[in-house]
Amino acid sequence: MSGYKSLLQRELDDDSSSDDDDYFIIAAARIVQMYSGQTRRPGGSVPGHLVIYRDREGGYERMFQDYLADNPTYGPHLFRRR
Q: pLDDT, tens digit, for every residue of 2-18? A: 565 666 666 666 655 56
pLDDT for res 77 = 81
Comparing 72 with 39, the larger pLDDT belongs to 72
Q: What is the greatest pairwise CA distance in the chain?
A: 85
Assess whether pLDDT exceeds 70 at residue 42: no
Per residue in 52-64, pLDDT (tens digit) is 899 999 999 999 9
Taking CB atoms within 8 Å and a gap of at least 24, the contacts of 27-35 are 29/4, 32/4, 33/1, 33/4
Q: Work out the number of other CB atoms within 10 angstroms of the CB of residue 17.
A: 14
pLDDT for res 60 = 95
Distance CA 74, CA 24 (A): 66
Find, among 22, 19, 2, 1, the residue nearest to 11 by Cα. Answer: 22
